[in-house]
């Protein structure tokens, strides 16, 4: 018998928690469940798609009602009452990805090149077919003559659908989210 499934936490609850790294559960999740190794491999795949500019394939990782969020404040409680560097519902995320392929996207002329490291992956909550994964990332972006460093914490809500892992939501907290920033065009 599997462990009692936990109710998926609200994102606010995750932030409120003391940042004690949760140890991966000692009891394995249900068969074909989302264990740490699979989650980590998934995050590495996602980072690779983004670094290689395969944005359509990246978009295909998201569920049909997914959202993608980069807050403008540390510990921002929600995306509707406070502005966000990015807050895309599924429709806007599609538009964002489509724009990245447009030839006259001037803010990507020349294109950025990025290199990401994803690490410190932990499973925060784990249910039968879904889990919330916390990871750290560093992204170097090189464009024109400048190199920028972005770093922060990502939370992914991963769900299993037909044997595939998909992203139900993703929240990216940049350490410099409230700094004066030049434009952000490549998703984290």
Partner 1 sequence: MTSSETLHSLVQSGRVHRRLYTDPAIFEVEMERVFGRAWIYVGHESQVRKPGDYVRTFIGRKPVVLVRDAEGKIRVIHNQCAHRGSLVVANDKGNTDEFQCCYHGWTYHLDGRLKAVPLQHGYPRDFDPNNPKTAMVSAGRVKSYRGFVFASEATDGPSLEEFLGHMTTSFDDMIDRAPDGEIEVAGGTFKHAYEANWKLYLENLCDAAHPLFTHRSSIDAAQQQSDAVYSDGSGEIAIRQMRQNGAPYSFWESQVGIWTYPNGHSYLGDYHDDAKLVAALKDPVFRDYIAAMEVKKGEAETRRVLEVRRWNSNIYPNLSFMSQFQQLRVVHPVAVDRTVVATYNFRLKGAPEQMFRNTISFANTVNGTGSLVLTDDLEIYNRIGMGLSSEGAEWIEIGRGLQSDAPDAHGGRRGKNSTSEVYIRNMFDAWLRYMADGRAAMRAAS
Residues at the contact surface with partner 1, assessed by CB under 8 A: 64-65, 67, 70, 72-73, 76, 79-96, 98-99, 102, 104-107, 109, 178-185
Taking the complex as a whole, the smallest distance from the CB of residue 166 to partner 1 amounts, in Å, to: 14
Distance, first Cα to last Cα, the chain? 38
Burial of 103 per CB tally in 10 Å (0-12, 13-18, 19+): exposed
**Interior/surface letters 144-160, b for 16+ CB within 10 angstroms, e for the rest:** eeeeeebebbbbbbbbb
Taking the complex as a whole, the smallest distance from the CB of residue 8 to partner 1 amounts, in Å, to: 17
For residues 87 and 126, which CB has a smaller minimum distance to partner 1 in the complex? 87
Taking the complex as a whole, the smallest distance from the CB of residue 101 to partner 1 amounts, in Å, to: 8
For residues 29 and 71, which CB has a smaller minimum distance to partner 1 in the complex? 71
Q: What are phi and psi of 63, to 5 degrees?
A: -75, 165
Torsion of CA 24, 15, 164, 46, to 10 degrees: -100
For residues 58 and 67, which CB has a smaller minimum distance to partner 1 in the complex? 67
Per DSSP, the three-state class of 104 is coil
Taking the complex as a whole, the smallest distance from the CB of residue 68 to partner 1 amounts, in Å, to: 10
For residues 23 and 182, which CB has a smaller minimum distance to partner 1 in the complex? 182
Taking the complex as a whole, the smallest distance from the CB of residue 11 to partner 1 amounts, in Å, to: 14
The whole-angstrom separation of Cα 17 and Cα 15 is 5
For residues 34 and 70, which CB has a smaller minimum distance to partner 1 in the complex? 70
């Amino acid at each position: 018998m599997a462990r009692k499934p936990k109710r998926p936490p609200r994102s606010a609850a995750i932030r409120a928690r003391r940042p004690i790294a949760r140890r991966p559960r000692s009891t394995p999740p249900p068969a074909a469940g989302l264990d740490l190794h699979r989650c980590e491999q998934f995050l590495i795949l996602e980072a690779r798609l983004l670094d290689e500019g395969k944005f359509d394939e990246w978009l295909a990782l998201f569920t049909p009602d997914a959202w993608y969020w980069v807050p403008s404040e540390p510990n921002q409680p929600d995306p509707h009452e406070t502005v966000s560097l990015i807050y895309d519902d599924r429709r806007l995320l599609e538009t964002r990805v489509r724009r990245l392929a447009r030839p006259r996207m001037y803010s990507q002329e020349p294109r950025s090149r990025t290199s990401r490291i994803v690490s410190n992956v932990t499973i925060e909550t784990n249910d039968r077919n879904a889990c919330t994964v916390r990871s750290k990332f560093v992204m170097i972006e090189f464009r024109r003559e400048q190199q920028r460093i972005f770093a922060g914490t990502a939370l992914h809500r991963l769900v299993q659908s037909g044997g595939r892992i998909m992203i139900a939501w993703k929240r990216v907290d940049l350490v410099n989210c409230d700094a004066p920033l030049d434009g952000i065009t490549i998703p984290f």
